[in-house]
Structure 1
Amino acid sequence: MKLSFIRRAGAQERASLSLFALTVPIVLENLFRIFISSIDIFMLSGYSQEAVAGVGIVNQYIFFIQLLFNIVCIGTSIVLAQYLGAKRHTEASQVIQGSILLVGALAGGLLILILVGAGPLLSLYKAEPAVRSYAITYLKIFGGFGSFFVAFNMLQGTVLRAYGYTRDTMVVTFIANGINVIGNAISLYGPFGLPILGVTGVAASSVISQIAACGILAWRIRQYPEVRFRLSHWRNIPSSIFKTIIQIGLPSAGESLSYNVAQIVIMALITTFGTAAVSSVVYAQTIVRFVFILPMSIGAGVQIKVGYLVGAKKFEEAYNRLYRYQLIGTVIAMGIITLLQFVKKPIITIFTHDPAILATTSTLLLYSYYIEFGRSINLITISALKGAGDVRFPVGYGIFSMWCIMVLGAYLFGYKAGLGLVAVWLAIGTDETLRGLVMLGRWKSKRWMEKRLT
């Protein structure tokens, strides 16, 4: 008897898959990732503050490494969805084969670079020797060896989601992160007389969890005959396949990189307002993650769905459905942020009892109405445009907006004019809202219909 996480979608028209079926597993997967990342930091904080600092330094590099893998994964997701919608299965198989070669070469090169360069790179930090030592250990073990498996997990998950098997990736994420937490506990607490391995053990447990995930995902893929995740006939892959994956994936990854750098700049600006201001922003951002995780996940499902429809040349259906999806996402986001206003004080007191920080965080959560309204429009509509193959315009405008409206606005009004955190929050909301409205205008223009890849 075969085990199955999700009913087979191969026999039916993929364009008929419901957004609900695509999105719910993605929502749960993303929520679980947030919980687990918080648990990891909590567990390390009980072991050593130097360890927390060392891993914190390395995490920014881990993020950039995964961003590089995302170049291939985003390109693969969009191109593959359109080929599947067009029922061009030979080309779909070539996209998968090409992505395996690309991500394998990238992961192998980064592994060598990290093993050789981790020490010299982290020696540039003016950190305590213990912090630097923990950082080097974690970067070499998880950033080097672990990232090789992370790359293939990201790619295998991308392929399964493109075929509509989103529940599989959700279940595997649960299992892998459960293994990671158990490994962390063994490494940090030394139950049954086992040695305490500290950061080395934490990094090793992360690698083991990724190896397990890689094996389970490979097994799940083998259960679906239509998903051809193999390298047979790789010499026959047209060069245009590699070119298309990179042309689609690179701008999207560049946009994510630009946004995160912009956030770093804004946080640097906020530090001039004092420690209480920084703490308030960190707490507010931590809480609102649970709001925008839903429109973000809906956007991921919309990108796949639009890719199917555009690949199948069902342009008008895609055009009309986006507005329905957009309304659903925005209503859900506004409903959650409204509910949050009634329970925000008890939630904030989980983090702090400082009256000033509590009041400031509460105010930021109130102004988050503006941010989350615009963000829900932006995340869903831009995902639809990318799913249709229209990447350059939304990415180009997004980079312009996040620097010229969000960062510049925060600097001019929050810092120069002395209006503080509220002005920074309004600058972020204005960027998200204007980007969302511009993306809706782009969708309404139907110019994305000319960007079909298949």
Structure 2
Amino acid sequence: MKINHNEDRKFTLWVLAWPVFIELFLQFLLGTVDTLMVSRISDNAVAVVGFSNQLFNALTTLFATVASGAGIVIAQKIGSRREEEARTVAIIAFKATALIGLVLSVILITLPRPIAVLLQLPEELLPLAEVYISIVGGGMILTAIMSTLGTAIRNTGNTKGPMYTAVGMNIVHIMMNYCFIFGAFGFPQWGLTGVAISTVISRLIACLVLLFIFLGTFERRIGLKDFSLYDRKLFKEVLVIGWPLGINSASWVFSQLAIFSFLAVLGSTELAARTYMNTLESFCFLLGFSLALAAQIQIAHLYGGGRTKEAYSAVYRTLFIGLPLVIINAFILVLFGKHVLGLFTQDQEILTMCASLLWLNLLLQPGKMVNMALGNALNAVGDTRYTMKISLIFMWVIATGCSYLLGVSLGWGIVAIYICMIADEYIRAVLSYFRWRGRKFLRQREEELSKEEAKSAGILSGSPVLTQ
């Protein structure tokens, strides 16, 4: 297959990664500023935001099945020079995820308190949770649309569009947070309710911008009549890759939600500590995750174009760059993390608890980096069932089951829960490494290309191709 060098430059790791990094950094900044501003309301408000975000993350897996699968198929189709099929996949994914998001919005608007009670949120946090879940959860359709549009645009090689959108969304969100929390510039002082409203409005604006970019992201512009497009075969391709991705993602998010529920049983102090640690941990793997996500796009593109040797080596380049960055960031956090936490809370019990967790985070992050890189590489070539299987087994047996046994039943607390999370990451990292070394899906792709070339040669020569 002829190599398009202009397109190759578009799909290099650095060109893909730096806008993704800035986009994710701004999302991290949004979460940090959210937590910092909400901490001015109360530690209870911080716990509600952290708990609610885990719930929302869990629910996003219901449309991530389609969005993630579509993203990989889009990159593969563009790599194999089938842009029209990539365009159709993007449109189908947009419609499917918007419908799922709408259903989730209705459920969260109507049942916020029963959901919080079901997930064992402490009684004193229920009034705040009811307000926050109903408002932010009511905008789940916006989250679904943002996820799909951003994924589709990013997997065409345009990682800058979502980045610029994230810049605008963060500016709007931070300004509105300031106005609603502190009553600045004549705005009402609405506290956590204002934070929720600010979140929904900023996401609505982001959706509109991403939709504008999406309409012109392919060679043939998407028009209103194109939204009636449907191709059963292409949608099946998305689901074949996407459903294990969705279960994999759900496995991680729901296991984290379960762990948050265990922390809620231990007490609001542990729940707040984990929420603050989530914010700090984001700093550690931010650049590494950007590289892993960029590598997934690059590997899917190379795989679609039949360049399997380049696809195989791409993940090792990602690890060579990403692992040192993650380790250095985690070590910096050990040195300065407690001072940063002082900006969020003055509760000495929470600060002492987080100080010990920072050392454990130094062990946790390298395992996460290897999982991100190798897991994304396996997903990029379509080996999504394997990553799903090991996630289902080890996330639930080690990370979740052992967390409950050691942290709650035996009373060893949040430190034991972190140790279980570390063990889960390293076990899956080792298994993913050996799976990638086996090159199963890469060899299958090479065989497919050999057959296609043999068939094409037979047609061009006018001679029949012998088959066994």
Report TM bin, short chain: 0.7 to 0.9
Q: Is the 8 A contact 1:180 1:206 kept in 2?
A: yes
2:145 corresponds to 1:152: yes
Which residue number in structure 2 is paired with residue 172 of structure 1?
165
Give deviations 1:163-185, integer Å, cap 9, x for gaps: 11112211111111211222233
Q: Which amino acid aligns with 1:161?
A: R
Whole-Å separation in 1 of the counterparts to 2:350 and 2:190: 37
Under a length normalisation based on structure 2, what TM-score does the superposition of the two structures give? 0.81
Pairing 1:47-126 to 2, within 5 Å after superposition = 47=41, 58-118=52-112
Q: Is the 8 A contact 2:122 2:268 kept in 1?
A: no
Offset of residue 138 of structure 1: 4.3
2:319 corresponds to 1:301: no
Give deviations 1:29-54, integer Å, cap 9, x for gaps: 22221221232244345457776676
Structure 1 residues 295 and 412: alpha-carbon distance in aligned structure 2, compared to 1, 3 A threshold: same
Residue identity over aligned pairs, in percent, reads: 28
Give deviations 1:124-181, integer Å, cap 9, x for gaps: 799999976655554444322x332332222221111111111221111111121122
Whole-Å separation in 2 of the counterparts to 1:384 and 1:313: 15
Under a length normalisation based on structure 1, what TM-score does the superposition of the two structures give? 0.84
Whole-Å separation in 2 of the counterparts to 1:190 and 1:353: 23
- SS of residue matched to 1:226: coil
Pairing 1:217-366 to 2, within 5 Å after superposition = 217-222=210-215, 224-226=217-219, 228-230=221-223, 232-233=225-226, 237-269=230-262, 281-351=274-344, 360-366=353-359
2:33 corresponds to 1:39: yes
Q: Is the 8 A contact 1:330 1:376 kept in 2?
A: yes
Which residue number in structure 2 is paired with residue 210 of structure 1?
203
Structure 1 residues 290 and 451: alpha-carbon distance in aligned structure 2, compared to 1, 3 A threshold: farther
2:376 corresponds to 1:377: no
Q: Is the 8 A contact 1:190 1:196 kept in 2?
A: yes
Pairing 1:2-41 to 2, within 5 Å after superposition = 12-14=6-8, 17-41=11-35
Give the root-mean-square deviation of aligned CA atoms. 3.6
Offset of residue 61 of structure 1: 4.1
Offset of residue 409 of structure 1: 4.0
Moved more, 55-64 or 84-93: 55-64
Structure 1 residues 86 and 350: alpha-carbon distance in aligned structure 2, compared to 1, 3 A threshold: same
Q: Is the 8 A contact 2:55 2:257 kept in 1?
A: no
Aligned length: 444
Whole-Å separation in 2 of the counterparts to 1:326 and 1:91: 32
Whole-Å separation in 2 of the counterparts to 1:277 and 1:134: 18
Offset of residue 341 of structure 1: 3.6
Whole-Å separation in 2 of the counterparts to 1:124 and 1:418: 23
Structure 1 residues 193 and 154: alpha-carbon distance in aligned structure 2, compared to 1, 3 A threshold: same
Offset of residue 316 of structure 1: 0.8
2:401 corresponds to 1:394: no
Whole-Å separation in 2 of the counterparts to 1:240 and 1:134: 46
Q: Which amino acid aligns with 2:368?
A: R
Offset of residue 436 of structure 1: 0.9
Which residue number in structure 2 is paired with residue 142 of structure 1?
136
Q: Is the 8 A contact 2:36 2:344 kept in 1?
A: no
Offset of residue 15 of structure 1: 7.1
Offset of residue 345 of structure 1: 4.5
Offset of residue 270 of structure 1: 5.4
Q: Is the 8 A contact 2:91 2:229 kept in 1?
A: no
Whole-Å separation in 2 of the counterparts to 1:280 and 1:142: 23
Q: Is the 8 A contact 1:14 1:84 kept in 2?
A: no
Give the unaligned 5+ runs of structure 2.
450-468
Offset of residue 416 of structure 1: 6.6
